[in-house]
């Protein structure tokens, strides 16, 4: 086909038609999504509307191609008129080809800029919508659209029309001059895919589960991000791709992935070439490949049918409970085991973990971060919305004046109160509330029961050692609140814990001062008890003995003050005290034993002297001369002990000489003893 202005005019018209179809599809889905609050369809409409920029860029470029061809025809007709004009035009040809320069500028700058702009929009909007859709995937927070029929109708109409138009444009893109129409065909088939996905999701939701609709909310944003990333990658590759003379540049917004869907014949051709290259010969020409290719459709249908029939069997695990749902209506509740049912999507079995413990925070959420958790520091959460009202301590209540305000009857406390529950009746649990509001309703009921119960608990029990009993009481109160609901949620409260109970941060320092004072008092009491035990043990040997002695001393004082008490009773009591003090260890026992030992020693010495005197009397009575001589010589021996004795005869004359001179009188003037003397 000749690349004249009429050909490019046709391409321009096709691009404008694609733009109109793309805008019509996008705005129609956008209007429906706002009216029915369909998050997935709204994301799809954003994707389709952003893709309309591809058609607009193609229309502008193809129109510029048409202008360039008209300009070329006019220049050629002028050059054929006369040689002089021809010379002038030949010398200034580059200055007169303004449309050609503008076309080159569009291929060099405009189309890459449009590709980057569309990539930025796709990635930015895709990430934003993905962040919004992450929470909506949760079954408890997802709300299915109401106008299901409109969604199915719009999805089928626009899906079929866009796919047929994409196939038509893809066929036009095989012509070299219209090759860039493949980018528009890719956008059209992308619109067809998202419309078909919306229709399929609504149909599946009508027949049974809403999983497809829920996950379409994140699939569409992911498609936008991947499509934008492909545009950026194509832009980078186009920078380094070698170009041939006369070749039309391929724009960055020409999606290769969506292009395969728009032209599925290329997929088969690519697979055939890959197989031939892998085996080294023309496998596609063999009889087996041809037989397989002729039977591929039948084999595929059989495989799909087998997989579909397998959905007629459902297995409920030993720790699960199931609900049979047929055409969106609950049929019955089933226990563990295998069941035969109608194939999906006519009937399905929704399974629930019957023994799974699920958690709800009835008060303050767990603190954020890994720092030390103290009463006086911030816990990373706003605790002002989670205060619990409890009764003051017994001492504070007794000390409060009768005219105190009613607000002084309560104390503010913050605590983490996690509740774990299990589903006992799956049917009641499902019928209790809508999935998106079930958890919030259970939490509200539990919080109300918790607040009512905490109004009966004293703060010293909550902060002290009675926290376990308090938690058990809270569990019973919450369980009774759930059982009183009509209809019942069908759950059993397994555990309610009270963790991290503490007063508000502003008053925590005052609570710590009370605790510090109590600890100081306990320390003083323990120190006094220790000193008491040490003193009594040192005095009486043991605390028990000392306490018994004190009791006997009190009784002795009573006896002494009583006039009728006789000396025998007083002496008996004193003897009991002495016996008790002397029985165990201790200072009193040691003193008593020393006194007894000294008394016994003195007694025995005096008794020995008396016995000795009696013996001497008997000796004197037996022989007075002998006794006198014996005593005389004993005394003489005692007197002369340590002296030198000379025995001489009376007939020998004796002369005694004595030196009475003092020696070293000055040196020993301050000395009380001499060197030869021993201290006495």
Using 50, 70 and 90 to split pLDDT, how confident is the model at 677?
very low
Q: What is the pLDDT of residues 268-300, one digit of tens each?
A: 566 666 666 666 666 666 777 677 767 777 888
* The residue to which tokens 């545009």 are assigned: 231
Q: For residue 166, how many other CB atoms are within 10 A of its CB?
A: 28
DSSP tag of 251:
P
Who's near 366: CB < 8 A, 6+ residues apart? 416
Nearest to 288 by CA among 296, 278, 298, 277: 296
Q: Distances from the Cα of 129 to the Cαs of 122, 218, 231, 586, in angstroms?
A: 10, 8, 19, 87
Longest dimension (CA), the chain: 202
| DSSP-derived secondary structure for 134-188 | HHHTSTTT----S-HHHHHHHHHHHHHHHHHHHHHHHHHTTSGGGTTHHHHHHHH
Who's near 553: CB < 8 A, 6+ residues apart? 577
Tokens standing for 218? 């994140």
Angle between helices 467-483 and 435-454 (to 10 degrees): 130
* pLDDT attached to residue 582: 67
Q: Are 490 and 427 in contact (CB under 8 A)?
A: yes
Who's near 15: CB < 8 A, 6+ residues apart? 55, 56, 58, 59, 62, 181, 184
* pLDDT attached to residue 442: 86
Angle between helices 5-36 and 39-79 (to 10 degrees): 160
Q: Which residue has the higher pLDDT, 270 or 131?
A: 131
Task: Write out the CATH class of domain 358-503.
Answer: alpha beta
Name the strands in the sheet holding 329-334, side by side, starting at the edge strand that comes first in the sequence: 329-334, 320-326, 347-353
As a whole number of Å, the end-to-end CA separation of the chain is 152
Who's near 258: CB < 8 A, 6+ residues apart? 186, 187, 189, 190, 193, 227
* pLDDT attached to residue 88: 47
Who's near 229: CB < 8 A, 6+ residues apart? 119, 123
What is this structure's pTM? 0.49
Mean pLDDT (whole number) for 546-567: 75
Q: What is the pLDDT of residues 414-433, one digit of tens each?
A: 777 888 888 887 778 877 88
Residue 196 has pLDDT above 70, yes or no: yes
Q: Are 352 and 321 in contact (CB under 8 A)?
A: yes
Mean pLDDT (whole number) for 323-342: 81
The span from the CA of 224 to the CA of 609, in Å, is 127
Mean pLDDT (whole number) for 352-359: 76
SS3 194: helix
Is the C-alpha dihedral spanning 599, 605, 610, 611 positive or negative? positive
Residue 553 parent element (H or E): helix 543-561
Q: What is the pLDDT of residues 515-531, one digit of tens each?
A: 788 888 889 998 888 88
* pLDDT attached to residue 91: 47
**610: buried, middle or exposed (CB in 10 Å: 19+, 13-18, 0-12)?**
exposed
Residue 597 has pLDDT above 50, yes or no: yes
Residue 214 has pLDDT above 60, yes or no: yes
The span from the CA of 377 to the CA of 500, in Å, is 13
Helices (H), 174-318: 181-207, 211-240, 256-262, 264-279, 287-310
* pLDDT attached to residue 386: 64
| DSSP-derived secondary structure for 506-548 | GGHHHHHHHHHHHHHHHHHHHHHHHHHHHHHHHHHSSHHHHHH
* pLDDT attached to residue 20: 92
- The full set of domain ranges for the chain reads 5-262, 313-353, 358-503, 515-585
* pLDDT attached to residue 73: 75
Q: What is the pLDDT of residues 655-669, one digit of tens each?
A: 777 777 766 555 555
The span from the CA of 429 to the CA of 488, in Å, is 8
Q: Which residues pair with 332 in a beta bridge?
A: 324
Q: Are 488 and 428 in contact (CB under 8 A)?
A: yes
Nearest to 451 by CA among 443, 463, 440: 443
The span from the CA of 356 to the CA of 426, in Å, is 12
SS3 368: coil
The span from the CA of 544 to the CA of 512, in Å, is 38
Mean pLDDT (whole number) for 231-248: 77
Mean pLDDT (whole number) for 670-678: 47
Using 50, 70 and 90 to split pLDDT, how confident is the model at 89?
very low
Among the residue ranges 2-6, 175-179, 181-185, 404-408, the one predicted with the least confidence is: 404-408
Nearest to 144 by CA among 134, 136, 153: 136
SS3 315: strand
Q: Are 52 and 19 in contact (CB under 8 A)?
A: yes
The span from the CA of 426 to the CA of 431, in Å, is 9
The span from the CA of 416 to the CA of 508, in Å, is 16
Using 50, 70 and 90 to split pLDDT, how confident is the model at 17?
very high
Average pLDDT, the chain: 77
């Amino acid at each position: 086909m000749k690349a004249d202005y009429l050909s490019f005019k046709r391409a321009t018209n096709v691009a404008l038609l694609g733009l109109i179809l793309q805008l019509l599809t996008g705005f129609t889905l956008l209007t429906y999504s706002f009216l029915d609050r369909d998050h997935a369809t709204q994301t799809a409409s954003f994707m389709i509307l952003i893709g309309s920029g591809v058609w607009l860029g193609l229309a502008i470029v193809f129109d510029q191609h048409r202008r360039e061809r008209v300009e070329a025809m006019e220049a050629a007709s002028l050059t054929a008129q006369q040689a002089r004009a021809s010379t002038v035009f030949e010398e200034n040809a580059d200055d007169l080809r303004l449309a050609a320069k503008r076309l080159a500028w569009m291929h060099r700058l405009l189309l890459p800029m449009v590709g980057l702009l569309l990539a930025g929009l796709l990635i930015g909007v895709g990430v934003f919508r993905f962040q919004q859709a992450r929470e909506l995937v949760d079954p408890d927070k997802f709300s299915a659209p109401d106008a299901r029929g409109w969604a199915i109708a719009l999805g089928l109409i626009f899906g079929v029309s866009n796919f047929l138009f994409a196939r038509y444009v893809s066929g036009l893109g095989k012509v070299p001059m219209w090759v860039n129409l493949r980018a528009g065909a890719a956008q059209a088939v992308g619109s067809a895919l998202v419309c078909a996905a919306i229709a399929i999701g609504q149909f599946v939701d009508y027949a049974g589960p809403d999983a497809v609709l829920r996950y379409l909310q994140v699939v569409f944003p992911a498609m936008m991000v991947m499509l934008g990333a492909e545009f950026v990658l194509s832009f980078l590759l186009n920078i380094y791709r070698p170009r041939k003379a006369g070749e039309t540049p391929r724009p960055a917004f020409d999606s290769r992935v969506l292009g395969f869907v728009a032209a599925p014949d290329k997929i088969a051709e690519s697979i055939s070439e890959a197989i031939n290259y892998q085996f080294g010969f023309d496998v596609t020409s063999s009889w087996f490949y041809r037989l397989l290719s002729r039977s591929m459709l039948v084999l595929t249908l059989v495989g799909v049918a087998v997989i579909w029939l397998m959905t007629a069997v459902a297995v409920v695990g030993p720790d699960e409970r199931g609900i049979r749902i047929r055409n969106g209506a609950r049929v019955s509740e089933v226990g563990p085991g295998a069941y035969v049912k109608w194939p999906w999507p006519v009937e399905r079995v929704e399974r629930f973990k019957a023994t799974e413990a699920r958690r709800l925070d009835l008060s303050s959420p767990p603190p954020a971060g890994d720092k030390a958790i103290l009463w006086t520091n911030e816990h990373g959460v706003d605790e002002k919305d989670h205060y619990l009202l409890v009764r003051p301590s017994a001492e504070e209540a007794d000390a409060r004046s009768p005219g105190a305000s009613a607000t002084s009857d309560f104390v503010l406390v913050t605590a983490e109160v996690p509740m774990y529950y299990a589903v006992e009746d799956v049917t009641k649990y499902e019928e209790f509330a809508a999935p998106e509001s079930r958890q919030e309703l259970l939490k509200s009921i539990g919080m109300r029961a918790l607040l009512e119960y905490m109004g009966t608990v004293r703060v010293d029990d909550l902060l002290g050692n009675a926290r376990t009993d308090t938690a058990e009481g809270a569990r019973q109160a919450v369980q009774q609140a759930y059982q009183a609901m009509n209809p019942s949620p069908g759950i059993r409260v397994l555990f309610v814990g009270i963790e991290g109970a503490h007063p508000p941060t502003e008053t925590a320092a005052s609570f710590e001062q009370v605790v510090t004072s109590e600890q100081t008092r306990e320390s003083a009491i323990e120190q006094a008890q220790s000193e008491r035990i040490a003193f009594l043990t040192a005095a009486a040997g043991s605390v028990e003995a000392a306490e018994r002695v004190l009791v006997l001393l009190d009784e002795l004082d009573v006896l002494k003050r009583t006039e009728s008490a006789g000396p025998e009773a007083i002496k008996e009591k004193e003897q009991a005290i002495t016996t008790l003090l002397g029985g165990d260890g201790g200072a009193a026992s040691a003193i008593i034993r020393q006194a007894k030992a000294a008394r016994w020693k003195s007694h025995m010495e005096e008794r020995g002297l008396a016995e000795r005197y009696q013996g001497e009397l008997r000796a004197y009575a037996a022989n007075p001369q002998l006794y006198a001589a014996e005593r005389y010589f004993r005394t003489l021996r005692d007197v002369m002990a340590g002296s030198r004795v000379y025995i001489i005869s009376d007939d020998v004359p004796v002369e005694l000489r004595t030196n009475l001179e003092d020696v070293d009188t000055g040196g020993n003037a301050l000395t009380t003893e001499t060197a030869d003397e021993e201290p006495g």
